[in-house]
Amino acid sequence: MARNTLIIALATALVATPAYAGKLYKWVDERGNISYQDRPPPEGIGKVEEKNLGDGRDGGSGNPAAAEAAARSPVSLYTVPKCSSCDAARAHLKKRGVPYSEISVSEKNPQAQQEMVKKFGALTVPTITVGSKVMQGYVETLLEGELDQAGYPKPEAGPEAAESPEAAPAQ
């Protein structure tokens, strides 16, 4: 019996290990769209940045729950340069550890603009999709709700959050 338990534990460890380790790839395609993916880009893409996600113990985006949520409900962020709301949405997704694809709909990318208007009926930035849900504009609480509903894990609060006066319950 103990032998079977050991075999099952080893098999589980071998299967689970790749979910914790991996790479994140960032590249810009020929239309100016920025993509963040867990798979390498197609052949012929120029500059590609790679980031090792680690072993999952650091609370980073190597989280298997985030990868599972991303497979079910991928996130896309439609942006233009010099857009403070786009920057805030991007920062929020990064802070929460959500893998996402960024699509530039700047004037240098008219094809992406046309596709966006066809898909969403307007050229509003930022536009954020979480699976089939579409949010035009960035409202932190709405984005949080959609990410929660899609199963993206919340980042763990560090020890400083537990000690801060804001985190203490009201008396």
Q: Taking 90 as the threshold, does the pLDDT of residue 96 lie above it?
A: yes
Any domain includes 163: no
User: Over the stretch 109-152, which tens digit does the pLDDT of each residue have?
Assistant: 899 999 999 999 999 999 999 999 999 999 999 999 999 999 99
Mean pLDDT in residue range 48-74: 67
- How far is Cα 60 from Cα 94, in angstroms, rounded to an integer? 10
Any domain includes 65: yes
Any domain includes 168: no
Nearest Cα to 16, choosing from 58, 68, 73, 71?
68
Any domain includes 169: no
Any domain includes 66: yes
CA angle, residues 125, 126, 130, in degrees to nearest 5:
135
Q: What is the largest CA-CA distance in the chain?
A: 66
- pLDDT category at 10 given cuts 50, 70, 90 is very low
Distance from the Cα of residue 93 to its chain's centroid: 6
Any domain includes 56: yes
Please give the tally of structural domains in the chain.
1
Any domain includes 162: no
- How far is Cα 140 from Cα 162, in angstroms, rounded to an integer? 22
Q: With H, G, I as helix, E, B as strand and everything else as coil, classify residue 26.
A: strand
Q: Which of 33-47, 97-111, 124-138 has the highest average model confidence (pLDDT)?
A: 124-138
- How far is Cα 80 from Cα 71, in angstroms, rounded to an integer? 26
Any domain includes 170: no
For residue 145, what pLDDT is reported? 95
Q: Say which amino acid occupies 150.
A: A
| Torsion angles phi and psi, residue 41, rounded to 5 | -70, 165
Q: Please report, for the domain that includes residue 79, its CATH number.
A: 3.40.30.10
Q: With H, G, I as helix, E, B as strand and everything else as coil, classify residue 130.
A: strand
Q: Taking 70 as the threshold, does the pLDDT of residue 13 lie above it?
A: no
Structural domain that includes position 52: 2-154
Determine which helix (DSSP H) or strand (DSSP E) holds 148, and give its type and residue range.
helix 140-150
* 171 or 87, which is more confident: 87
